Amino acid sequence: MEYLYILREALVWMVTIFWIYQMAISVCALIKFKDKPLKIKKDHRFMAIIPAHNEEAVVGNLIESLKNQTYNKELYDIYVIADNCTDNTAKVAKEAGAIVYERFDSTKKTKGYALNWFLQQKIEEDAPYDAFFIFDADNIVDKNFIKNMNKKLCQGEDVVQGYRDIKNPTDSWITAGYAIFYWTLHRFYHLARYNIGLSPLLNGTGFMVRFDVVKPNGWDTQTLTEDIEFSLKRIIAGKRLGWATDAIVYDEQPVGFKQSWSQRSRWTVGHIQCMHKYTKDLAMAAKKNKTLMNFDGLLYIIGSIPMFVITLILLLTNFAIYAGTGMSAAE
**How many domains does the structure of the chain reveal?**
1
Residue 262 belongs to some domain of the structure: no
Give the pLDDT confidence score for residue 4 in this predicted structure.
Answer: 64
Which residues span the domain enclosing 125?
36-224+237-255
What CATH number does residue 133 fall under? 3.90.550.10
The whole-number pLDDT of residue 84 equals: 94
Report whether 320 contacts 4 (CB < 8 A): yes
Query: Could you tell me if residue 320 is inside a domain?
Result: no
Cβ-proximal residues to 206 (8 Å cutoff; 6+ apart), any chain: 133, 134, 135, 139, 141, 145, 161, 162, 163, 164, 247, 248, 249, 251
- Position 13 in a domain: no
What is the structure's pLDDT at 101? 97
Identify the weakest region by mean pLDDT among 24-38, 80-94, 116-130: 24-38
Nearest Cα to Cα of residue 242 among 157, 123, 151: 157
- pLDDT at position 314: 63
Predicted confidence at residue 60, as pLDDT, reads 96
Instruction: Let me know if residue 31 belongs to a domain.
Output: no
Residue 306 has pLDDT above 80, yes or no: no
Q: pTM score, two decimals?
A: 0.86
304 — pLDDT class (breaks 50, 70, 90): low
Q: Is the pLDDT of residue 262 over 70?
A: yes
Q: Is residue 54 part of a domain?
A: yes
Question: Does residue 30 fall inside a structural domain?
Answer: no
The model's pLDDT over 35-75, given as tens digits with 9 standing for 90+, comes to 777 777 899 999 999 999 999 999 999 999 999 999 999 99
User: Is 8 inside any structural domain?
Assistant: no
- Of 76-85, 123-132, 287-296, minimum mean pLDDT range: 287-296
CA distance 245 to 158: 16
Q: 51 forms bridges with which residues in the sheet?
A: 81
Residue 83 lies in a domain: yes
Mean pLDDT for 228-243 is: 92
